[in-house]
Amino acid sequence: MANVPLGIKTHAQKVCSLYKRSLRNLEAFYDRRNVYRYQAVLMRERFDKNANIKDMRTAVELLKAGEEELFLNQHPIPRKFPYSHGGVAHEREVRPPDWVLDYWHPLEKAQYPEYFKKREERKKEFIAMWEKEYGKPDPKDHHH
């Protein structure tokens, strides 16, 4: 869920995103730190050259050209962080949803009495909040 974009990105945010993705792409190509740093400095110079452009049409065209260049020069096997989306360990550990606890045996629940007492209170609060927001369910909509 962390990858869901919220709101509209400004031009500056789009440029920063392009810069960061460009650096990550360079990182995939150059495994030696000194070579990567040299290439990163050259990339930064390219971005800094166009930092003070006031005409938005020119800036948008440059951004579009940069996106296209990155796309055409992307590494065939991009580096990804293990736990990030697309990484080797992404969603490796399945976190069970909360409703699984409703199916625990009463003897299992008895081992954690305070937790399940609080959980039942929270469920009642949630139902009250839901009914306040959306109203009570209509019994005739219930199909049996």
Is residue 17 within 8 A of residue 9, CB to CB? The reply is yes
Residue 78 domain-assigned (yes or no) = no
End residue of a domain, out of 29, 55, 72: 72
Would residue 112 count as lying in a domain?
Answer: yes
- Judge whether 83 lies within some domain: no
* Within a domain: 1: no
Cα–Cα–Cα angle for 118, 124, 130, rounded to 5 degrees: 135
Report CA 40 to chain centroid distance, whole Å.
25
pTM: 0.62
For residue 80, is it within any domain?
no
What is the count of structural domains for the chain? 2
Structural domain containing residue 67: 11-72
Structural domain contains residue 117: yes
Task: Specify if 90 maps to a domain.
Answer: no
Q: For residue 85, how far is the Cα from the chain centroid? A: 8
Give tens-digit pLDDT for 15-64: 999 999 999 999 999 989 999 999 999 999 999 999 999 999 999 999 99
- Residue-wise pLDDT for 85-142, tens only, equals 989 999 898 889 999 999 999 999 999 999 999 999 999 999 999 999 998 887 777 7
Q: H or E stretch including 124?
A: helix 113-134
Confidence at residue 138, expressed as pLDDT on a 0 to 100 scale? 79
Beta-carbon contacts of residue 87 (< 8 Å; ≥ 6 apart): 80, 81
The answer to whether residue 84 is domain-embedded is: no
